[in-house]
Amino acid sequence: MNKQISYRLDELFVEDVSVSEIADSLRTPFYVYSRSTIKNNFVRFKKSMEGLDGIICYSVKANSNLSVLETIAQLGGGADVVSLGEYQRALRAGIDQKKIVFSGVGKQDFEIAETLKSSLLQYNVESVSELESINKIAVSLNRQAPIALRVNPDIDAGTHENISTGKADNKFGIPITTAKDIYQYASKLEKIKIVGVDVHIGSQISDLNAFRQTFENLAKLINELKNTSIHIENIDIGGGLGIKYADNDAEPDLQKYCTLVRQILGNLNCSIIFEPGRYIVGNSGILVTKVLYKKKSQNKNFLITDAGMNDFSRAALYGATHRLIPISKKNSGETEVYDVVGPVCETTDTFLKNHIIERPEEGDFLAFLDVGAYGAVLSSEYNTRPLVPEIMVFNKRYEMVRSRPSYEEIFDKEFIPDWK
């Protein structure tokens, strides 16, 4: 656990707030974030970049809560967005539009038009068709469109196949082998302004060798482009640094990572764009849930919680495993083995299998750790279960930063036509 989420006299605290205090006032399940952890992670990342002309464009998809984005904005960070909605979230939270990068393989015309009117740092372009679409819209608006081509280096980052983005059979980017020709084509388009090159090879990466190979390929491409009079201002190296989810997980060394960037890309007279997401917010969050029932079947013991896969889907999506701890330690020394599952009507609504836990009782509160990234942001109202609330803690205060909608608020978004 990070030091902002720890036990005091057997009670779990987030910063200086007892989690039991929150659970006494708010129905579970709910997320709790440590603002200090987010700040500390950001500052540590920024310090590791010293000596580089760089900018941190936080990956909004990791956790798009406005309070999280406001924390990033206060620290001078930018944003990496993948939709107009995320772009508008970033602006609402106070992030400078000149520090916003628009990524994603499926940008729509209205998204391109709106962001072009407002301004941004660059579009990370993923295909020739998208490049042509951006140019057409820019011509119609009489605006210059700043672009970087996202190149696919065909490198296996050694991560889960569902979050790998840098191999040739992934949908992302333009083959690096054809990038030079496409840059030449882009340079002839009327309203396209080439400003950078972009790459992102996946998430939850611990092997720095994959980054080394990627950066070396980028450096080679940039030098080849210089020889054709195409000047690159920004090198967007994406994100992807992994975090520690289990005690035996390998965690990449941030200092070594940034040293690698300096050694390979630091002398190219370019600004480096970093896009960390999980690394900034992952360990800042917990998901608090209550034990509803203990159930014994022929072969298994099940611990049924009130949190479901609609509230937290990483286990169902990626087979992810998160540590689960009690809000209040009992120190009984008695343990039992359970499959920890949720109430959703799906077999994939399973968080942990054969999990050893201090003997739980119905009504106990538990917490999943390290859920600040890809937690609430992926939640849904499946089974008509209201979206899970989010709380942010800062020092001795805690505030609701997203409320749980009522059933009436859910139903009010739907309409029954009068077919008569």
Single out the catalytic residue among 57, 258, 270, 345: 345
CB 304 within 8 A of CB 297: no
Q: Look up residue 4 and give its DSSP letter.
A: T
d(CA 100, CA 73): 11
Cα–Cα distances (Å) from 413 to 193, 381, 407, 419, in that order, read 41, 12, 10, 19
Sign of CA dihedral 337, 341, 345, 346: negative
Query: What does DSSP assign to residue 164?
Result: B
Query: DSSP labels for 254-302?
Result: HHHHHHHHHHHHTTSS-EEEE--SHHHHGGGEEEEEEEEEEEE-SS-EE
Check if 57 is active-site: no
**Which residue's entry shows tokens 């739980």?**
360
CA 205 vs. chain centroid, Å, equals 13
Here the tokens at position 418 are: 């009068």
Burial class (CB in 10 A: 0-12, 13-18, 19+), 259: middle
Which are the catalytic amino acids?
A: 345
